[in-house]
Amino acid sequence: MNNENTSEKKSKAQVKLKQIGKSLGIGIIEGGITAGIGYLLLRLHVYTMFSILLIWLIFGWFSSYIINNNALEILTVMISGNVTAGLIYFFVGIEIWFLSLIIGLSILFWMISFTTKILLYPTKKTQDEVKELENNGN
């Protein structure tokens, strides 16, 4: 009986670890692709940096269909925004205000996504996840 519980907990932990790894991987790949496209666009003209934001938003919108967990979706957006900003800053050396703009937008999207998807309008799946977490805590 006790062995079944520990093996079940291990399998749940492995599934969660795989989901976190998938989220981190998608965020890093998404940020790298966006930064690569942004680097090429910034070679053309400096004001194409605003198109980088649009590309990043489109990739973030598509990644929300790949990731099923809301918290991991938020993590993916945060990581992709920071990777994009960091790589562009490292390779192109753009102004620091643009770097803070991308990081600030990723935090803003995190807050909006958190309040709408988890607090204000939770789906049935989110409500079940919260109940499961509450039951596991007791």
The predicted pLDDT at position 91 comes to: 78
pLDDT, tens digit, for every residue of 69-122?
767 777 777 788 778 777 877 777 767 677 677 777 777 776 776 666 666 666
The conformational region for residue 93 under phi > 0 = left, psi -120 to 50 = alpha, else beta, is left
Domain boundaries, the chain: 2-137
Q: What predicted TM-score, i.e. pTM, was given to this entire model?
A: 0.63
Q: Please compute, for residue 73, the number of CA atoms within 13 A of its CA located in the half-sphere on the CB side.
A: 20
More confident residue, 53 or 124: 53
pLDDT, tens digit, for every residue of 25-34?
888 888 888 8
Side chain identity, residue 45: H
Structure tokens at 9: 């907990």
DSSP state at residue 47: G
Structure tokens at 11: 């399998």
